[in-house]
Amino acid sequence: MDRFFEEMMAGHLKVRIMFTQNARVPTRLTAEHRDNEYFLLYYQFIKQAFGLDWIPPNEHQRRLRLYFDQFPDTREVASQFKGYIRGLEDFKRFREIPLTIARRDITEVRSHDHLLLQCLDVVLGAMSFRLNDRHKAKPPGSRVRGKRTRAKEGVYKHILRLIRAWRPGFNPGVSTGRERLEDKWEHPYRHWLFESLHSTFDGTRTKKK
């Protein structure tokens, strides 16, 4: 994790973590939305979370390569999704930046075959562990937490220290703030609490006190 964050803070890679609040229940969802939720969500993630449309126009030409886990659908649906990603280049804002998205650069991989993706999985797992209160879990009949739970909490706390060394007071449970729109691109690490434009709040689905 130390080496991973060193590369991140040096500007060699960027990490974006997206999560949702279960108490925020989306409304106005159609059957098509539910059937394609994986692809719709990831399309918005790629389009919005990395701030690609805020790459300075005077920077050198960049080539965007996307490595997804195995798509949970047919090749036909996956091909359609890749077409939508390629279509980002047609948006006016994207046409003004030095970025190319080739279809061959949108592919599926197994994360355990890639060291950087393994590191990303550790960070994602640590954040999921904490945001879902798994650090409080205790074995049935026990008054204390198990060794694995304490070890995972240790990993989370170490990662949090690495993030806060860059951004003091960082709160993993909310979207990362910004002073400028360009921060969406320039920040090495950000969280995005994704909320549907149309949703209701269900208090029964919040964390138990």
Write down the mean pLDDT value for the chain.
88
163 sits in which H/E element:
helix 147-166
Length of the chain equals: 209
| Alpha-carbon separation of residue 111 from 10, 104, 115, 118, 122 (angstroms) | 23, 18, 8, 6, 11
- Chain segment 53-106, per-residue pLDDT in tens: 888 888 788 888 898 888 887 888 888 999 999 998 888 888 888 888 988 999
Cα separation, 171 vs 177, whole angstroms:
10
Distance of CA 60 to the CA centre of its chain: 25
- Chain segment 187-206, per-residue pLDDT in tens: 999 999 988 777 676 666 66
Q: Give the pLDDT score at 74.
A: 84
Task: Please indicate, yes or no, if residue 51 is contained in any of the structural domains.
Answer: yes
| Six token digits for residue 123 | 């960070």
Residue 14, domain extent: 2-198
Task: Please report which confidence band the pLDDT of residue 8 belongs to, taking 50, 70 and 90 as the band edges.
Answer: very high
> How many folded domains does the chain comprise?
1
Q: Give the pLDDT score at 23.
A: 65
CB atoms within 10 A of CB 198: 9
| Six token digits for residue 180 | 């400028």
Task: Please indicate, yes or no, if residue 208 is contained in any of the structural domains.
Answer: no
pLDDT at 209 over 60: no
Task: Please indicate, yes or no, if residue 108 is contained in any of the structural domains.
Answer: yes
Task: Please indicate, yes or no, if residue 203 is contained in any of the structural domains.
Answer: no
Q: Please list, in sequence order, all residues whose beta carbon lies within 8 angstroms of the beta carbon of residue 29, skipping any fewer than 6 positions away.
A: none
Going by DSSP bridges, is the β-strand pair 189-194/15-20 parallel, antiparallel, or unpaired? parallel
Task: Please indicate, yes or no, if residue 207 is contained in any of the structural domains.
Answer: no
- Chain segment 11-59, per-residue pLDDT in tens: 999 999 999 887 667 777 788 878 888 888 899 999 999 999 888 888 7
Q: How far apart are the first and last CA of the chain?
A: 32
Place of tokens 């990362």: 176
User: pTM to 2 decimals?
Assistant: 0.85
pLDDT cut 70: percent of the chain above it: 94
Task: Please indicate, yes or no, if residue 206 is contained in any of the structural domains.
Answer: no
